[in-house]
Structure 1
Amino acid sequence: SDVTPRWAVLGWLLQCPRTPSIAANVKLALFYDALFFDPQRDSIMNIEPAMLLMTRSIPKYVGITSMLMEFLIIAKDNYNLPRRHLTQRGFQNAMLALVRNRVVRSLDELTKAEEERWEQRQTAALRDHPIPERQAGGRLGQQDAKRHGDSTGSFITGGN
């Protein structure tokens, strides 16, 4: 189709802010309807693009999903403290409506995003800073032998 999905446009808009305060306002605009969602009055179409952005970003841009989930969870508890009960209920209603209307199969998709991000960080860390292999008689092997009270390194080489 020649039509660009709304969630893709939102992803692009999230990349545009140049200051943290503008970025926070963009995220708030993205989730405002979800924070006060009432299934009796509001349309699922108002909150669908944000959820699709989060779920469709997972395979390639898992950091976006994590960033948005973190913002949403913080906002539901802290956006309007005197009316916290409304934002928490709105958030809950929005998530239930998204699952009920099959915008997402399960909210587990979003929790898996954080797991994938952690795995990506670990893989990158190992790639950038590989763990040295233990080699018989090598420097690391000799240090381990001394640490364990064997000055000959025989526990590594198998000799006595």
Structure 2
Amino acid sequence: MKISSRFTVAVHCLLFISCSDEKITSEKLAASVNTNPVVIRKVLGKLKKAGLIEVYSGTGGAALLKPASSITLLDIFHAADVVDDNQLFSLHDPNLECAVGKEVLPLLSNPLKTAQQALESSLEKTTLADLLDQLNRKPVRSVSRSSISTVLL
């Protein structure tokens, strides 16, 4: 099972925006994420629609609209719109004339709901600020932070 990569791309973008003191273009974000700027613009549009960031057109740039400490991974997960109709699991259309087919979805309902609630509960416990703190504690091995910021930021 895979959840769309928009979630991890959205987290990556928010971390990058939070770490930069200068305007961030979709091209710079795309270089860091290793994707196309069009993908970045779509993700930024979703984050903007969710009220997490402000995007400056023309000259580029983006900024958080809330403190990083009040943005949870669950907020980003929902903003990135990675699941259809807020349902983590897609269900099939079983043959309802079959004894197993008519019972399989009701049997799965509670376990799948519990699994989704567990994921959401876990994501809700981590904020963007938590990730920024962890990022700032990471040792830089072969390249200094200043040279990283010069290259990417």
- Scaled by the length of structure 1, what TM-score is found? 0.27
Q: Which structure has the highest helix share of the two?
A: 1
Considering only CA atoms, is the larger Rg found in Structure 1 or Structure 2? Answer: 1
Higher relative contact order (CA 8 A, sep 6+): 2
